[in-house]
Amino acid sequence: LATHFLDRIEKSDLNAFLHVDRALTLAEAAEADARIAAGTATPLTGVPIAHKDIFVTKNWRSTAGSKMLANYVSPFDATVVAKFKAAGMVSLGKLNCDEFAMGSANENSAFGPVKNPWDHKAVPGGSSGGSAAAVAARLAPGVTGTDTGGSIRQPASFCGITGIKPTYGRVSRFGMIAFASSLDQGGPMAQTAEDCALLLSAMAGFDERDSTSLMPEQGGIDEDFSRDLDQPLTGLRIGVPKEYFGEGLAADVAAAVKAALDQYVQLGATLVDISLPNTKLSIPAYYMIAPAEASSNLSRFDGVRFGHRADGYKDLQDMYKKTRAEGFGPEVQRRIMVGTYVLCHGYYDAYYLKAQRIRRLIQQDFEAVLNGPDAVCDVIMGPVAPTVAWDLGSKSDPVANYLADIYTLSTSLAGLPGMSIPCGFGANQRPVGLQIIGNYFAEAKLLNVAHQYQ
Ligand code: GLN
């Protein structure tokens, strides 16, 4: 299996992988073989996996898609990487992504864009663009991704694969290079909901090395996420938010999503009209909170501790400045500036604090429809993105990129689980994703609902 995928990766010209090492992979495969022979295998032993280059790995470079970390090798494995290793999975290498996971098209990687396997002129989505492209092109059967504001769901949608962002705190952030810590969440991407369920079961669970990991008493327990895959959907109530079908949604995407909703009705579900009135505020709120946290997280890249250091500086200040100017790309620099600004004394209340208040209102929107005895729906469905994948190089305005995140940001701000499953094709035969959002800890339900879709 490992050789099959390594050969496919070698022949591919998508730029999905940043680091492949045949010898390392084959050594892991040999270990898996030994384990199978010894009778100590798990169901995932010997199955290849590849990691978004946001997860640090002991043997492979960990770049976060940035020149700043171009030659960085971590002294330890991220918890997620270690868990898959412990299950006997075989690593195929590291996957391209937007620099520090900031982006929606994989065009912000210091190592070049990734091509969408369905149409090489199109972006694969981002920031987990390499991950999504690798699965779609059958370069890996399953991969890891991270989602801060849509980075698992949106590339899954653009590449016609399945991806799930779990409830915030389900999957350990230890060893996941930080972007916005209160939003960052790792998750699996694969061809099917069933594969995602198997991967998520191995990936999730309490980790004492991550301070926001959910403790067992908070629900951070090991679960078999495939347990409900075959449950019938009779009586399922699907909330359809009117804000997700308004102005800005392309007709081809709307048609594919509506056809998917019809199929769920055939499967026994009922559609319930709901409203998530603060949806449009998710863009300004997210684009203050995420950069604020990023500006703080990225202060560690100073040329002293790890990564790139500029040559030819006058003094310490000059070394910091040159290192950061050379090491960070334009989008990362923009976010550091925005984040520093909104955290400034004098602006903090007007911007950062206000954004946090809006975040709570967005969370309450979801709570009102999904939570408690007054809940009107079991899951929410809608599009993942307003359009299918756009052409490489066609959307250079950063704000245009931000606006395309409208349907994914609020789930992240609320910390809820969300997933994308393929639901047909739109313009230019580019894939469309259906988004399924659930209450906290409802991953098994989402995977069940996804698995029943034909
Ligand atoms: N597109 C969003 C951003 O640029 C989300 C990225 C993510 O989820 N990592 O921040």
Here the CATH number for the domain that contains residue 95 is 3.90.1300.10
Q: pLDDT by residue (tens digit) across 295-353? A: 999 999 999 988 999 999 999 999 999 999 999 999 999 999 999 999 998 999 999 99
pLDDT at position 8:
98
Residue 338 lies in a domain: no
Residue 187 lies in a domain: yes
Query: How far apart are alpha carbons 31 and 342 in whole angstroms?
Result: 50
Residue 257 lies in a domain: no
Residue 396 lies in a domain: no
Q: Give residue 102 CA to ligand 1 midpoint distance, Å.
A: 5
Q: Decide if pLDDT at 219 tops 90.
A: no
The interface pTM score, or ipTM, of the predicted complex is 0.98
Total domains in the chain come to: 1
Which of the residues 151, 201, 282, 420 is marked catalytic? 151
Q: Give residue 100 CA to ligand 1 midpoint distance, Å.
A: 9
Residue 146 lies in a domain: yes
Q: Which residues contact 266 (CB under 8 A, 6 or more apart)?
A: none
Q: Give residue 103 CA to ligand 1 midpoint distance, Å.
A: 5
pLDDT at position 222:
87
Ligand 1 atom with the shortest distance to the CA of 405? 1
- Cβ neighbour number for residue 93 with a 10 Å cutoff: 28
pLDDT at position 220:
82
Residue 364 lies in a domain: no
Pocket test for ligand 1, best of 127, 157, 171, 332 (most atoms within 8 A of CB): 127
* One-character DSSP codes across 331-385: HHHHHHHHHHHHHSTTTTIIIIIHHHHHHHHHHHHHHHHHSSTT---SEEEEESS
Amino acid at 23: A
Token pair recorded at residue 385: 């993105």
Instruction: Identify whether 127 is a catalytic site residue.
Output: yes
Ligand 1 atom with the shortest distance to the CA of 151? 8
Q: Decide if pLDDT at 391 tops 90.
A: yes
pLDDT at position 325:
97
Q: pLDDT by residue (tens digit) across 127-140? A: 999 999 999 999 99
Residue 95 lies in a domain: yes
Query: Which residue range is the domain that position 89 belongs to?
Result: 2-218
Residue 285 lies in a domain: no
- Cβ neighbour number for residue 234 with a 10 Å cutoff: 9
pLDDT at position 34:
98
